[in-house]
Copies of this chain bind each other. A is one copy, B any other.
């Protein structure tokens, strides 16, 4: 499985993805699930992938035009006139990849399925974020639904629902993502460290911060320990149930 979260803040976009892939619990590996394209100052596009790894790696390779020689590559997502067009191109690439995988084998398309979170900005246009379905269509984040999760979304959702605020700083949002990922990690073996982490500030059209949170990252461990303690304190602060009722 996988866990990816993209959040739209007033200040910009923030992304985090884990790196664990598995084909059974006895066959786990580490693969990057976050990919970016950047023409600093002109556009920045970040994609996070959840689902069949062969599908998502193939989609990324096609977007990077890796069928062509290095000097001939002019990825069309770097030439699309709008983020909506970028999402369209990525969605079509995803749908075709899934379809060709299903045609080649006897299995259903769902076997090759994948879901992508795509966010970014083109200079002079609105910053935006999309969730692209295996069918190639997509939805856009709005102020009503300002964050997208993909993969193993349930464990980490309650804290996002409760603590997310559009006006939060990147430092706070990073903390929120760490807590959400920690809750998922604690409950599900199919999500694992290291995490990839990225920030795009509004109207900068470049990657402002890019980091890999390794297994021994001191901040993540401080959050994980601290959250356990803080949760217990929060829990203790609530009134107990009156059994005489």
Contact = CB atoms under 8 A, between A and B. Distances in A.
Contact of A187 (B157, B183, B233): B157
Interface string A31-75: 000000000000000000000000000000000000000000000
A166 interface: no
Majority-rule SS of A interface residues: helix
Nearest to A176: B235
Contacts of A172: 240
A234 B241 contact: no
Contacts of A176: 235
Q: List the 6 closest A-B pairs by CB distance, nearest first.
A: A154-B154, A174-B241, A230-B234, A171-B240, A158-B183, A234-B234
A14 B163 CA distance: 30
Interface stretch (A108-116, A122-130, A137-145, A221-229): A221-229
Contacts of A174: 240-241, 243
